[in-house]
Protein backbone atom coordinates (compact mmCIF):
# COMPACT_ATOMS: atom_id res chain seq x y z
CA UNK A 1 0.00 0.00 0.00
CA UNK A 2 1.21 3.54 -0.76
CA UNK A 3 0.97 6.33 1.78
CA UNK A 4 1.79 10.00 2.11
CA UNK A 5 3.43 11.31 5.25
CA UNK A 6 1.21 14.00 6.80
CA UNK A 7 4.26 15.66 8.36
CA UNK A 8 6.63 16.06 5.40
CA UNK A 9 4.60 15.01 2.33
CA UNK A 10 6.86 12.14 1.25
CA UNK A 11 5.22 9.31 -0.64
CA UNK A 12 6.22 5.80 0.42
CA UNK A 13 5.13 2.17 0.27
CA UNK A 14 4.57 -0.12 3.24
CA UNK A 15 5.20 -3.87 3.18
CA UNK A 16 4.44 -6.33 5.99
CA UNK A 17 7.20 -8.84 6.72
CA UNK A 18 6.27 -11.97 8.64
CA UNK A 19 2.67 -10.97 9.24
CA UNK A 20 -0.34 -13.21 9.25
CA UNK A 21 0.47 -15.13 12.41
CA UNK A 22 -2.28 -16.53 14.60
CA UNK A 23 -1.43 -14.78 17.84
CA UNK A 24 1.00 -12.32 19.33
CA UNK A 25 -0.10 -9.34 17.26
CA UNK A 26 1.15 -6.06 18.66
CA UNK A 27 1.10 -2.48 17.51
CA UNK A 28 4.04 -1.85 15.21
CA UNK A 29 4.95 1.66 14.02
CA UNK A 30 4.84 2.73 10.39
CA UNK A 31 7.57 5.37 10.05
CA UNK A 32 8.16 7.78 7.18
CA UNK A 33 11.42 6.78 5.48
CA UNK A 34 12.17 10.45 4.71
CA UNK A 35 11.57 12.34 7.99
CA UNK A 36 11.56 9.20 10.22
CA UNK A 37 8.44 10.33 12.10
CA UNK A 38 5.86 7.72 13.07
CA UNK A 39 2.90 8.11 10.72
CA UNK A 40 0.69 5.57 12.49
CA UNK A 41 0.72 2.21 14.24
CA UNK A 42 -1.00 -0.95 13.13
CA UNK A 43 -1.50 -4.38 14.71
CA UNK A 44 0.53 -7.15 13.09
CA UNK A 45 2.43 -10.28 14.02
CA UNK A 46 5.24 -9.12 11.74
CA UNK A 47 7.06 -5.87 11.11
CA UNK A 48 6.72 -3.15 8.51
CA UNK A 49 9.24 -2.07 5.89
CA UNK A 50 8.82 1.41 4.44
CA UNK A 51 10.27 2.33 1.03
CA UNK A 52 10.52 5.92 -0.20
CA UNK A 53 8.75 6.43 -3.53
CA UNK A 54 8.97 10.22 -3.87
CA UNK A 55 10.74 12.74 -1.65
CA UNK A 56 8.59 15.70 -0.64
CA UNK A 57 8.83 19.07 -2.29
CA UNK A 58 11.04 21.64 -0.54
CA UNK A 59 9.72 23.68 2.36
CA UNK A 60 9.77 26.75 0.11
CA UNK A 61 7.66 25.10 -2.59
CA UNK A 62 5.17 23.75 -0.07
CA UNK A 63 4.90 27.23 1.52
CA UNK A 64 4.19 28.75 -1.90
CA UNK A 65 1.68 26.03 -2.83
CA UNK A 66 3.62 24.82 -5.86
CA UNK A 67 5.90 21.87 -6.66
CA UNK A 68 9.68 21.97 -6.92
CA UNK A 69 9.24 21.43 -10.67
CA UNK A 70 6.95 24.51 -10.83
CA UNK A 71 9.57 26.58 -8.98
CA UNK A 72 12.31 25.48 -11.39
CA UNK A 73 10.08 26.11 -14.41
CA UNK A 74 9.31 29.65 -13.24
CA UNK A 75 12.98 30.54 -12.98
CA UNK A 76 12.30 33.13 -10.29
CA UNK A 77 15.24 34.63 -8.40
CA UNK A 78 14.93 34.42 -4.62
CA UNK A 79 16.27 37.57 -2.93
CA UNK A 80 17.13 38.23 0.71
CA UNK A 81 15.50 41.17 2.49
CA UNK A 82 18.35 42.48 4.64
CA UNK A 83 16.76 45.75 5.67
CA UNK A 84 18.79 48.95 5.86
CA UNK A 85 21.84 47.42 7.52
CA UNK A 86 22.41 44.69 4.95
CA UNK A 87 23.80 42.48 7.70
CA UNK A 88 20.85 40.32 8.72
CA UNK A 89 18.30 38.53 6.54
CA UNK A 90 14.76 39.19 7.75
CA UNK A 91 12.87 37.29 5.06
CA UNK A 92 13.01 36.49 1.33
CA UNK A 93 11.13 37.74 -1.72
CA UNK A 94 10.89 37.26 -5.48
CA UNK A 95 9.09 38.68 -8.50
CA UNK A 96 6.83 36.54 -10.69
CA UNK A 97 8.79 36.43 -13.97
CA UNK A 98 7.41 37.03 -17.45
CA UNK A 99 6.72 33.71 -19.12
CA UNK A 100 5.43 31.99 -15.98
CA UNK A 101 2.99 29.33 -17.15
CA UNK A 102 -0.74 29.99 -17.00
CA UNK A 103 -1.10 26.78 -15.00
CA UNK A 104 1.13 28.11 -12.19
CA UNK A 105 -0.54 31.53 -12.26
CA UNK A 106 -3.99 29.92 -12.08
CA UNK A 107 -2.95 27.51 -9.30
CA UNK A 108 -1.51 30.28 -7.11
CA UNK A 109 -3.55 33.34 -8.08
CA UNK A 110 -0.32 35.25 -8.81
CA UNK A 111 0.15 37.77 -11.62
CA UNK A 112 3.22 38.32 -13.76
CA UNK A 113 5.39 41.05 -12.22
CA UNK A 114 3.85 40.61 -8.76
CA UNK A 115 6.18 40.62 -5.76
CA UNK A 116 5.90 37.68 -3.38
CA UNK A 117 7.49 38.64 -0.08
CA UNK A 118 7.60 37.80 3.62
CA UNK A 119 8.95 34.31 2.89
CA UNK A 120 10.26 33.08 6.25
CA UNK A 121 14.02 32.65 6.64
CA UNK A 122 13.62 29.12 8.04
CA UNK A 123 12.32 27.92 4.66
CA UNK A 124 15.65 28.68 3.00
CA UNK A 125 18.93 27.00 3.98
CA UNK A 126 21.76 29.18 5.21
CA UNK A 127 23.66 28.61 1.94
CA UNK A 128 20.73 30.06 -0.06
CA UNK A 129 19.38 26.75 -1.35
CA UNK A 130 15.84 25.53 -0.81
Residue 85 domain flag: yes
Residue 63 and residue 49 share a domain = no
Give exposure, 68-78, as e/b (b: 16+ Cβ within 10 Å): eebbeebebeb
Q: Answer whether residue 21 shows pLDDT above 70.
A: no
pLDDT in the model for residue 86:
75
Q: Is pLDDT at 28 greater than 80 in this prediction?
A: yes
Q: Is the pLDDT of residue 1 over 90?
A: no
130 located within any domain: no
Look at 23-27, 48-52, 76-80 and tell me which has the smallest mean pLDDT. Answer: 23-27
The model's pTM is 0.62
| Residue 47 shares a structural domain with residue 81 | no
Same domain, 69 and 40: no
Q: Based on the domain organization, do 46 and 81 belong to the same domain? A: no
80 and 50 in a common domain: no
Please report which residue ranges of the chain form alpha helices under DSSP H: 59-64, 68-74, 102-108
Which residues span the domain enclosing 96? Answer: 59-123
The reply to whether 129 falls in a domain is no
Q: Are residues 75 and 106 in the same domain?
A: yes
Distance CA 105, CA 124 (A): 22
- DSSP-derived letter for residue 98 is T
Number of domains in the chain: 2
- Whether residue 92 is found in the same domain as residue 71: yes
- Looking at residue 23, what is its pLDDT? 65
Residues 65 and 117 in one domain: yes
Average pLDDT value for residue range 10-29: 81
Confidence bin at 127 (pLDDT 50/70/90): very low
Nearest to 22 by CA among 45, 43, 41: 45
Instruction: Indicate the pLDDT class of residue 128, thresholds 50, 70 and 90.
Output: very low
Taking residues 5-14, what's their average pLDDT?
88
In a domain, 50, yes or no: yes
Tell me: do 67 and 109 sit in the same domain.
Answer: yes
77 with 38, same domain: the answer is no
Amino acid sequence: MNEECPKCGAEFSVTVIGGGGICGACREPIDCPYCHETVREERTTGTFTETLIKAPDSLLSRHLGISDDDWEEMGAELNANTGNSGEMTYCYWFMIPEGTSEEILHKTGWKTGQMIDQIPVELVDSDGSY
